[in-house]
Amino acid sequence: MRCFHAIYYNYRIRCASLGNHDRGRTVTEFYAHTLETSPDPADWQRLQTHLSETANLAQHFTKAFDSSDWGYIAGLWHDLGKYHPDFQRRLRGERIAIEHSGAGAALAFSKHEELGTFLGFIIAGHHAGLANYIQSGPGLPSPLKERLRCNRDSLGGLLENVPIFIREQTVPSLPGFLLARPDVPTGVQRRKIEFWIRFLFSALIDADRLNTQSFCDPDKAKLRGEFASITELRERLDTAIDNKIEDVSLEARFTTLNLARSEVLNACREAASEKSGFFSLTVPTGGGKTLSAMSFALRHAECHALRRVIVVIPYTSIIEQNAEVYREALGTENIVEHHSNLDFDSQVQRQGAEVTLQHQLAAENWDAPIIVTTTVQFFESLFSNRTSRCRKLHNIARSVIILDEVQTLRREYLQSILDALKQLVLNYGCSVVLSTATPPALAKRDRFNEGIDFIHPIIKEPEILYKLLERVDYEWPDLDAPAVEWQTLAVDVANETRILAIVHRRDDACALARLVAELKQDDPIYHLSALMCPAHRLKVLEKIREQLASGNVCRVVSTQLVEAGVDFDFPVVYRALGGLDSMVQAAGRCNREGSPERGRVVIFVAPTQPPRGMPTQGMEKTMSLLREYGGSLDTTDVGIFETYFRMLYHTGNLDGANIQPLREQLNFATVGREFQLIEDGFTQTIVVPYGDAPIRIARVRRETALPQGPSKAAKRALQPFTIQIYPSAYANLDRAGALEEIVDGVFTLTAPYSNLYDSVYGLLSGDELKANPAALHV
């Protein structure tokens, strides 16, 4: 796969011959960028060169969605404001405040009011981000209409400095897929245009940044590495899978579990030649989805000349696990992880400084063959207005997107999410794989027009697979009996030597784990919750896997962060009664490798309620199903999930944040603010003193004193040691003077309160602090 750095140099050679198209008169030389290493303008980047090269790059990027004319003109006009003499004086060191990104937007608007407005969003926002058209508000960029008005009057005097071939360009016609049709409702048409503007914006941002970097920091630009081709990666994966099979004994190959996994792999390979679109990969937990889905994706990409595979995973707790599987099969250099919990130092230790830097650059624009990212990163980028997040969007076009654990998509954003996915498939050349053991009801039907028209099932008869891979027995609760008390549950957990207990809340996990620890003081208790920072959780996950592999005593109490995709294999799993999908996912951590002795999954009614919203409503729907089906559910019946999700979606607002009307009004900035997949209530970031976090905190403190403040690298290094806490817990800590703000909006524990972060349980929660105020007086 050729890197765009190389493409850039080819364009530079082509553009060098453009020359000055303003024949017959002398034109003052205008510049786009200076060099810190040289005060001589002869070494600076000429503005016409920057515009032409950016235009050609943007033209190249937008070919993937039939908009190359638009990419070219956006690049050509994006920095027209730099033709203003005041901007040139500013480049030479004069302190002049002048805004340069609105001039090209005003020119586009003057050429064609409607189409120029679309182009105006892109050009005017290429530094500040996509704005609303009219609506203003605190923290939002100036509306586009206001920007156009402010730049209109200054445009006339500016244009005389602009080369004729640039200023006399016209606004292109809309690409065919955006032309209005009588059978397409106005709102749908507006959302199609809104989505397209985002992709054009992305192409301009990336082209501008790449061209600027190539001139201003060529050494860094050269680090943008080349990767293996899709065909090479498919061949590597085939070899890795074949070797893995050969390493298994003949006897083991013919176990029910491995035969089922082989069937899943073969089905994925066979389906890869199908035409692009939506695919479902409905496979029970332990059925080998990780490598089989990648096998489908690479073969499908090869067959249809698609550019990359993007794996979207809901929880950071399983990203590292899945990424490691891909690295082993396909090579570390080809797998780019992009999520908030990446630890730069750990990456350098694992894969070296050069590859790590290449991956950091590739994460900026997703210019790599395989991207592994989070649900939050993927979908919030699709609806963001920020330049840094939008930059990657154009590289999503012509990709295979694997949505792992698709059942976890938040219901109140489902309309906008499905709308975006359908746009990616219909107009941006993507295929989407909906991968899960508990398939949500996403197909179009009566009273669900937002659903997907057709989903191609990779597994033709999943019911047979579910029967074959049934490895556990469920013990369902008596819904008319009282809830189980924590003390009683702790005794049950303590009586097992290898058990995973999953509860509703972070405080529940801490309380139950402490009770078990009191009963079994000679054995370690493993606790997992979001009260622990990501680095801490990863260490505990590694320790649990070691204990399980060694056959040692292993008791784990966790919140639901482990139940989707984490490769645990316990003989006994306890799960608090909740949504059906959550309980079945939890059961996937039981007898995962198909021991002849069936696993035991105990569903109990907890003394506390799940978090409000979908968790509570999921529990209510499950209770309704239990009563309807006589107190037990057949989890091998795939139809039960269809029924459950229909009930869940029918009773809720699938556009609870009102995203769709905002999109139709072209309110990009408001959409970016309102589309937030992280649950409401997690409002404050705390950096906790785990591992080498104190060293990283000290670095940020030192750099805070610098004129430019802490570097991005220093702030990013804190991420693996952060947790999100509720406002009540933050208030308790703040009142006690236990917090210090080290970066805007980011706090850490002050001395002598650092021991509020426990090596087993993480940060003391707000409820614990209220119940035991003395805990603050250490």
What pLDDT digit, counting tens, does each position of 298-309 carry? Answer: 999 999 999 999
**Token pair listed for 152:** 């209109």
Q: What is the pLDDT of residue 23?
A: 33
Could you give the percent of the chain with pLDDT greater than 70? 94
Q: What is the pLDDT of residue 5?
A: 38
pTM, entire model: 0.91
Residue 21 has pLDDT above 80, yes or no: no
Tell me how far CA of residue 506 lies from CA of 228, 531, 533, 773, in angstroms: 43, 7, 13, 19
**Token pair listed for 691:** 């591992």
According to DSSP, the residues that pair with 399 across neighbouring strands are 308
Q: What is the pLDDT of residue 683?
A: 66
* Distance of alpha carbon 745 from alpha carbon 741, whole angstroms: 7
DSSP letters, 362-385, are HHHHT-SSEEEEEHHHHHHHHT--
Q: pLDDT confidence of 765, banded at 50, 70, 90? A: low
According to DSSP, the residues that pair with 748 across neighbouring strands are 687, 740
Residue 775 has pLDDT above 90, yes or no: no
Nearest to 1 by CA among 234, 187, 179, 159: 234
Q: What is the pLDDT of residue 280?
A: 97
* Distance of alpha carbon 165 from alpha carbon 27, whole angstroms: 14
Could you give the percent of the chain with pLDDT greater than 90? 71
* Distance of alpha carbon 282 from alpha carbon 441, whole angstroms: 12
Q: What is the pLDDT of residue 12?
A: 38
Residue 564 has pLDDT above 70, yes or no: yes
Per the model's pLDDT, the better-predicted residue between 441 and 21 turns out to be 441
What pLDDT digit, counting tens, does each position of 342-398 carry? Answer: 777 778 778 888 888 898 999 999 999 999 999 999 999 999 999 999 999 999 999
Averaged over 677-686, what is the pLDDT? Answer: 69
Q: Burial-class residue 132 by CB neighbours within 10 Å (0-12, 13-18, 19+).
A: buried
* Distance of alpha carbon 194 from alpha carbon 202, whole angstroms: 13
Q: What is the pLDDT of residue 275?
A: 97
Q: Which residue segments constitute the domains of the chain, with CATH numbers given? A: 4-221 (1.10.3210), 230-467 (3.40.50.300), 471-635 (3.40.50.300), 684-776 (no CATH)
Among 511-525, 661-675, 751-765, the minimum mean pLDDT is found in 751-765
**Strands annotated E in 152-237:** none
Residue 209 has pLDDT above 90, yes or no: yes
Task: State the amino acid at position 444 in one-letter form.
Answer: K
Q: What is the pLDDT of residue 601?
A: 98
What pLDDT digit, counting tens, does each position of 568-616 carry? Answer: 999 999 999 999 999 999 999 999 988 889 999 999 999 999 998 889 9
Q: What is the pLDDT of residue 669?
A: 97
Q: Between β-strands 684-687 and 746-749, what pairing exists: parallel, antiparallel or unpaired?
A: parallel
Residue 24: left (phi > 0), alpha (psi -120 to 50), or beta? left
Q: What is the pLDDT of residue 18?
A: 34
Residue 475: which H helix or E strand, with range? strand 472-475
Beta-carbon contacts of residue 616 (< 8 Å; ≥ 6 apart): 609, 610
Averaged over 180-199, what is the pLDDT? Answer: 95
Largest CA distance in the chain: 93
Q: What is the pLDDT of residue 11?
A: 36
Averaged over 55-67, what is the pLDDT? Answer: 98
Q: What is the pLDDT of residue 567?
A: 87
What pLDDT digit, counting tens, does each position of 609-638 carry? Answer: 999 888 999 999 999 999 999 999 999 999
Q: What is the pLDDT of residue 679?
A: 58
- ∠449-454-457 over CA atoms, to 5°? 135
Nearest to 317 by CA among 622, 558, 579: 558
Nearest to 710 by CA among 743, 740, 687, 747: 743
Q: For the chain, what is the mean pLDDT?
A: 90
What pLDDT digit, counting tens, does each position of 251-271 carry? Answer: 777 788 888 999 999 999 999
**Token pair listed for 63:** 């070919």
Averaged over 468-479, what is the pLDDT? Answer: 95
Residue 719 has pLDDT above 50, yes or no: yes
Q: Between β-strands 31-33 and 762-763, what pairing exists: parallel, antiparallel or unpaired?
A: unpaired
- Let me know: does 141 contact 667? Beta carbons within 8 Å: no
